[in-house]
Amino acid sequence: MPTVLRDRTYRRLFTAQVVALLGTGLATVALGLLAYDLAGARAGSVLGTALAIKMVAYVGIAPVIGALGARIPRRTLLVGSDLLRAGAASSLPFVTQVWQVYVLIFVLQAASAAFTPTFQALVPDVLPAERDYTRALTLSRLAYDLESLFSPALAAALLTLMSYHRLFLGTVGGFLASAVLVVSAVLPKPAAVPRGRGAATAGIRLFLVTPSLRALLALDLAVAAASATVTVNTVVYVRDSLGRGTGDVAFALGAYGAGSMLVALLLPRLLDRLADRTVMLAGGLLLTPVFVGLAVISGPGGGSWRWAALLGSWAAFGAACSTVLTPTGRLIRRAAPPEERPPAYAAQFSLSHACWLLTYPLAGWLGAAAGLRSAVLVLGALAAAAAIAAVRMWPAVDAPAHVHPELPAGHPHVAGAARTAGGWRHSHRPVRDALHPAPAG
């Protein structure tokens, strides 16, 4: 993986991603403390509403931004998003009303909905070789997992030296540093993005007509069921069900992150040997037995075995989710020609967060109204149905071998292909692009 960091452009973009994530993590801690100052005992409802606003912004804004990619230079879009996020974060310490928090959160998350899919669509252009791109996806997954572990610890250390309001300055600094790094990077020229009345839904249409992407959407729903269980109900399991201390909440969340990071580190070599379909479906199907085990330990009662079982379940959830999420970019890269990648990545961003918009309330409301075991059974059934649907929708047979007489030696698409008298012969999963004009699937 360090080899991809030798690429100067990617190194700067990856660093921009890391510092922006770190700033976002600091903001998450500070926002919780701000909500408590403004609403007291109602802080949970304020944060829940803010989370819903975040998801609505992600679902609604990302497809529009994907369509605007043809009209706005990528550097302008990325830097403008960072500056808008920095402006919103710098305003948060001065709010005095809850509604002001909601407005600023919407602005900040709308800017993130513009930045993230644009960044994701840019990386395969910077690293066209699939092996390099796979390692970049692993680094991105590790960055997200490490942020979830490192940011709270950094925030805790900083809070011993300053008030939480100053944590927002770290968020502003992260976004400004990201903007500077993007400005300093030499970005490749993008392919022309589709325009017209249907541009905003072009990526979603691609998902609906491509079997592997339809399966990916089903897997996103399965992952959302598991991650919502962890995100929403960890504190309930640790504090109420097991009667453990507040420090163990962070420990349990760390188990989820550790499982995710371990798999992310192993995946590059695994994907060199196994098809994406095999790996990703295995991750989706693994979620069901984990939910079954979690149902067994759900309910009142302590005991060291329940605590160990919870940590094991959370680590298994993290591993399974990472198995699905890490190769996602490879799947989109293969299914979408270069000119359709911005709307395709935007559609993935929007549709995956629509799944979380469904599962977050389910996890919270069912857990509160009917108990943890009922929530686990419902979300586990949802994950199982989604994983089975993915298996049925994703064809197992590769496309027949074919020849590319028009491509020169060294073209990324024919890396590893056999040279014949008629050109470069290889086979791969069905794709729809300029090199393969016949619709696949």
Give the pLDDT mean for 7-24. Answer: 89
Q: Which is more confident, 135 or 291?
A: 291
Question: Which of 26, 71, 343 lies closest to 175, judged by CA?
Answer: 26
Give pLDDT, residue 65: 72
Torsion of CA 156, 162, 164, 167, to 10 degrees: -80
Q: How far, CA to CA in Å, does 312 sit from each of 96, 225, 242, 298, 317?
A: 42, 17, 15, 14, 9
Selection from 3-7, 18-22, 201-205 with the highest mean pLDDT: 18-22
pLDDT band at 64 (very low <50, low <70, confident <90, very high): confident
Q: How far, CA to CA in Å, does 367 sit from each of 52, 236, 378?
A: 18, 9, 10
- Percent of the chain at pLDDT > 70 equals 83
| 402, β-bridge pairs | 426
Exposed, middle or buried by CB within 10 Å (0-12, 13-18, 19+), for 427?
Answer: exposed
Answer yes or no: are the C-beta atoms of 81 and 111 closer than 8 Å: yes
pLDDT tens, position by position, 350-397: 889 899 888 888 888 888 788 889 999 999 999 999 999 999 998 876
DSSP letter string, 299-340:
SS---HHHHHHHHHHHHHHHHHHHHHHTTHHHHHHHHS-GGG
Question: Which of 187, 205, 206 lies closest to 118, judged by CA?
Answer: 187
Q: How far is 41 from 400, CA to CA, in rounded Å?
A: 62
> Which of 41-55, 120-134, 335-349, 416-430 is predicted with the least confidence, judged by mean pLDDT?
416-430
Give pLDDT, residue 180: 95
- The token pair that represents 429 in the structure block: 């999963």
Torsion of CA 315, 321, 322, 327, to 10 degrees: 160
> Which of 153-162, 188-197, 271-280, 326-335 is predicted with the least confidence, judged by mean pLDDT?
188-197
Give pLDDT, residue 62: 76
Q: How far is 171 from 28, CA to CA, in rounded Å?
A: 9
Count CA atoms within 13 Å of residue 324 on its CB side. 33
Selection from 138-147, 203-212, 305-314, 381-390 with the highest mean pLDDT: 381-390
Answer yes or no: are the C-beta atoms of 114 and 77 closer than 8 Å: yes
Amino acid sitting at position 416: G
Give pLDDT, residue 440: 44
pLDDT band at 174 (very low <50, low <70, confident <90, very high): very high
Exposed, middle or buried by CB within 10 Å (0-12, 13-18, 19+), for 163?
Answer: exposed
> Which of 92-101, 152-161, 185-194 is predicted with the least confidence, judged by mean pLDDT?
185-194
> Which of 3-12, 21-30, 333-342 is predicted with the least confidence, judged by mean pLDDT?
333-342
Q: How far is 24 from 18, CA to CA, in rounded Å?
A: 10
pLDDT tens, position by position, 245-256: 767 877 888 888
Selection from 49-58, 120-129, 186-195, 234-243 with the highest mean pLDDT: 120-129
pLDDT at 16 over 60: yes
pLDDT tens, position by position, 397-438: 655 456 677 777 777 776 656 555 566 655 565 566 666 665
pLDDT tens, position by position, 277-324: 999 999 999 999 999 999 988 866 656 788 899 999 999 999 999 999
Question: Which of 21, 112, 89 lies closest to 350, judged by CA?
Answer: 112
Give me the chain's average pLDDT, please.
Answer: 82
Q: How far is 173 from 153, CA to CA, in rounded Å?
A: 18
- The token pair that represents 100 in the structure block: 């002001």
Domains located in the chain, CATH noted = 1-127+163-185 (1.20.1250.20), 204-396 (1.20.1250.20), 403-441 (no CATH)
DSSP 425: E
The per-type count for the chain, helices as H runs and strands as E runs, is 14, 3
pLDDT at 439 over 50: no
Exposed, middle or buried by CB within 10 Å (0-12, 13-18, 19+), for 247?
Answer: exposed
Answer yes or no: are the C-beta atoms of 189 and 334 closer than 8 Å: no
Amino acid sitting at position 292: V
Answer yes or no: are the C-beta atoms of 6 and 126 closer than 8 Å: no
Q: How far is 402 from 438, CA to CA, in rounded Å?
A: 12
Q: How far is 337 from 290, CA to CA, in rounded Å?
A: 37
What is this structure's pTM? 0.78
Give the pLDDT mean for 128-138. Answer: 85
> Which of 153-157, 171-175, 192-196, 213-217 is predicted with the least confidence, judged by mean pLDDT?
192-196
Residue 426 has φ and ψ, to the nearest 5°, of -160, 180
